[in-house]
Amino acid sequence: MAQVDTDKGIDVRRAIAVEKLALGYTNQAAAEAAEVSRSSIQRWLREPQFVDALNEEVRMRMGTSSRKLNVAFDAAINTWLAIMADPHSTRFEKLRASELAASNAAAFRESMEQREQLRRLEEALGIAQEYDLL
């Protein structure tokens, strides 16, 4: 009998495959890591419990990555502000810092608008998801 990964409710080989697939590995690479055939991966991808575990792993990893990006973005903003306020910074450094701040603010605003559109669409379809992104 296969050992069960109690966190995911699936056996260890499936848990390995879930982790690798969530990291973006190909089906073949995930199969090799889990020591199974590629056809096993393809079969598992049709199993609701496996797909649920994979989706949960992807959500968890996206949440973790998003939190790290938020910390890095906050540090970048503080750096840009410090450069712009520093009387010893050159005009070029100040201009570059302000350009970076403006372009990243625009990208962030667009991302938040897309996220809101996705939330509304999921709500309308009755498939609202819980995102742990912030």
Domain count of the fold of the chain = 2
**One domain for residues 84 and 108:** yes
Cβ within 8 Å of residue 32, ≥6 positions away = none
Residue 80 and residue 101 in contact, taking contact as beta carbons nearer than 8 Å: yes
**Owning domain of residue 41:** 1-46
> Tens digits of per-residue pLDDT, 41-98?
999 999 999 999 999 999 888 888 888 888 888 898 899 899 989 999 999 999 998 8
Average predicted confidence (pLDDT) for the chain: 85
* Alpha carbons 82 and 4: distance in angstroms, whole number: 51
Cβ within 8 Å of residue 50, ≥6 positions away = 10, 14, 17, 18, 44
Cβ within 8 Å of residue 73, ≥6 positions away = 104, 108
In this prediction the pTM is 0.57
**One domain for residues 75 and 102:** yes
Judge whether 51 lies within some domain.
no
